[in-house]
Structure 1
Amino acid sequence: MSGKANFESTRRRLSGQQAETVDRLTKAAVAILRTHGFSALTIRMVAGEAGVAPATAYTYFSSKSHLVAELFWRRLDALPHEADSEQDRESQVCSVLRSVALLVSDEPELAAAVTTAMMADDPDVEHLRARIGKNIRERLVEALGPEHDADVLEALEIAWSGALVRAGMGYESYSQIADRLEITARLIMAGHDNS
């Protein structure tokens, strides 16, 4: 994970002790999601699990959606970000999309919570959506190369966001979605190359 993510949250920069508190809160949230799911999750419950006063927890997270979106952001930010020069452009794009699709695939409760949380009408979640979108865009641009077509980039972004919503709604597993994203990316790129 980059050092910046440890000391920066959506709302403010964090000292070492504050970053530790946020880490405890996010770990507690994952534990509660595993046993109770998103609908039962509350900031108060997370604070209790983390051994933190509820008022303190609310200084870091405005809502449970904000907390879950922050969890996803931290995991995304921790993913390796370098393009593999050994792979062709299409394979690099597929690798980016697969890694994002599988980010929470082994934790179904968290995956479902992320889908719900990311749709919240909360300024802190909106900020995180923008950060997440920018991070994934940067990964795709790296994979596509400097002379990429803006329409291809946008189509790939629409494909990954739609695929993750589809998986979050339970239509298919995240592994199936990762496979479908790869097929979709190859079709988008082949269609562009043939035009």
Structure 2
Amino acid sequence: MSSPTAERLLEAGREELRAVGAQTLTIRTVAQRAGLSPATAYTYLASKNRLYAELFWRFLLEDADAEPADADAVSRVQSVTRRLGERLAGAPELAAAVTPALLGADPEVDELRLRIGAELLRRFRVALGDDAEPDVLETLALAFSGALLQAGMGLMTYAEMADRLDAVVAVVMRGAAA
């Protein structure tokens, strides 16, 4: 999605999400905010889940170049999970909307789900370094995904998620070193 119309819709979707929340937002209200017809909006966004996943993808890309500079792998991975957790805490409406969107079976989200997962894996791989063990990488990705789910379910806040993942990362990395 990279046309002027798509960009207008995504910006309108971001604004509408902030203004009314995920439960109230509709593609029609996004179209209205963008000054477009609903038919045009549905050409680009077949579902709210697609909108939420697209907004989350762009949210991830906003700081995709931020690489952890800490000396040791544990601190680098913790900085990745902390940064993502803190950024999500600053965008609670997006965080709340994207969790069910990514968990659902909406085919409109399939490609984005894969891109998002690949981007998270890339960040962990960069933090771990060139000698990253595949099992450690997968464990970290699963732990992060589980924490996202728990935060999305309201079992913890996104700020708490960042704190709790510090301990999880330390345990995983300690186990990998053994």
TM-score grouping bracket, smaller chain normalisation: over 0.9
Equivalent residue for 1:91? 75
Cα separation, 1, equivalents of 2:121 and 2:149: 17
Are the structure 2 counterparts of residues 80 and 53 from structure 1 closer, same or farther at C-alpha, using a change threshold of 3 Å? same
Equivalent residue for 1:140? 124
Equivalent residue for 1:5? none
1:35 counterpart (19, 22, 41) = 19
Asked if the contact 1:76–1:103 (Cα under 8 Å) also holds between the matched residues in 2, the reply is no
| Structure 1 residue 82: Cα displacement | 4.6
1:72 counterpart (56, 68, 74) = 56
Equivalent residue for 1:109? 93
What is the number of equivalent residue pairs in this alignment?
A: 178
- Asked if 1:166 corresponds to 2:146, the answer is no
Equivalent residue for 1:24? 8
Residue 35 of structure 2 aligns to which amino acid in structure 1?
G
Equivalent residue for 2:165? 181
- Asked if 1:124 corresponds to 2:124, the answer is no
Cα separation, 1, equivalents of 2:163 and 2:88: 15
Are the structure 2 counterparts of residues 122 and 50 from structure 1 closer, same or farther at C-alpha, using a change threshold of 3 Å? same
Q: Report sequence identity in percent.
A: 45
Cα separation, 1, equivalents of 2:57 and 2:106: 15
Asked if the contact 1:163–1:177 (Cα under 8 Å) also holds between the matched residues in 2, the reply is yes
Cα separation, 1, equivalents of 2:87 and 2:109: 18
Asked if the contact 1:69–1:118 (Cα under 8 Å) also holds between the matched residues in 2, the reply is yes
Cα separation, 2, equivalents of 1:62 and 1:87: 45
1:52 counterpart (12, 32, 36) = 36
CA RMSD of aligned residues (A): 1.5
Cα separation, 2, equivalents of 1:86 and 1:93: 9
1:61 counterpart (28, 40, 45) = 45
Gaps of 5+ in 2: none
| Structure 1 residue 33: Cα displacement | 2.1
**SS of residue matched to 2:87:** coil
Instruction: Name whichever structure is richer in helix by fraction.
Output: 2
- Asked if 1:150 corresponds to 2:150, the answer is no
**SS of residue matched to 2:88:** coil
Cα separation, 2, equivalents of 1:104 and 1:21: 27
Asked if the contact 2:50–2:109 (Cα under 8 Å) also holds between the matched residues in 1, the reply is yes
